Amino acid sequence: MFYKDNSELKFCMKLKVFNETHAFGPGVVKILELVSETNSLSASYKAMDISSSKGWKIIKRAEEDLGFPLIQSSIGGKGGGYSTVTEEGKELLHRYNIFVKELDIEAERLFKKHFTQ
Amino acid sequence: MFYKDNSELKFCMKLKVFNETHAFGPGVVKILELVSETNSLSASYKAMDISSSKGWKIIKRAEEDLGFPLIQSSIGGKGGGYSTVTEEGKELLHRYNIFVKELDIEAERLFKKHFTQ
């Protein structure tokens, strides 16, 4: 390391995709992944330790910017409501995750190149 | 585009480097670049439309995390105070900017690969 012998510099990368506002990033990605697992918005918000109004705002903002729904919910029935990620949501999530994964490999390489010499 | 014919999806990448907290990113980079140009912290904060207490907090947090000073200030004298970026600050800024620039090229390539087919 160039600056301090006993420290270990790291990096953190945050990616968002959007039309007009930076609406689809780590927050909404986490919600979609948790909804895929739990089929429950409230369980997902709880796992993320955010209020349902905050969670709903994150989703709505992304849906409005993208122009399609990310979450599909059925209300009521036996056992209460049930939420799933829409097909378009799954497709976007899939592309986003590959994009992040591949870019992270390049980031590791370039960070090493510029910060460990 | 896979999801909406008349829209143009974009991406935004944010990088931070740090030891323990995500302290060195776009905010402090902007301050250092403005200080390099103006030699004035107050002019830099004004250009960024942030308060001097907020600006100072951003710098202090980064300096504490990195373990070296980023800004050197001389107080008073004819014409008032004068601030410069330290040699270590310049070095880190230089490495960070090349890192971001090179990674941005990879990000453009990978975004195109995953979001325009």
Interface test mutation site (partner B, options A1, A5, A8, A19, max chain B beta carbons within 10 A) = A19
Sequence-ordered strand ranges (E) for chain A = 10-18, 71-74, 82-85
Look at residue A72 and tell me whether its pLDDT is greater than 80. Answer: yes
User: Buried b / exposed e across B44-66, counting CB within 10 Å, b at 16+?
Assistant: bbeeeebeeeebeebbebbbebb
pLDDT tens, position by position, B79-111: 567 899 999 999 999 999 999 999 999 999 999
pLDDT tens, position by position, B21-62: 888 999 999 999 999 999 999 999 999 999 999 999 999 999
Task: Please report, for chain A, how many H helices and E strands are present, in that order.
Answer: 4, 3
User: Buried b / exposed e across A96-112, counting CB within 10 Å, b at 16+?
Assistant: beebbebbeebbeebbe
Please answer yes or no on whether A110 and B92 come within 8 Å at the CB atom. Answer: no
- Name every residue in A having a CB less than 8 A away from some CB of B: 2-4, 7-19, 22, 66-68, 88, 91-92, 95, 98-99, 102-103, 106-107, 110-111, 114-115
| Min Cα–Cα distance to chain B from A68, Å | 8
Please answer yes or no on whether A91 and B15 come within 8 Å at the CB atom. Answer: no
Question: What is the pLDDT at residue B13?
Answer: 97
Map tokens 């270590």 to a residue: B88
Map tokens 């490999």 to a residue: A105
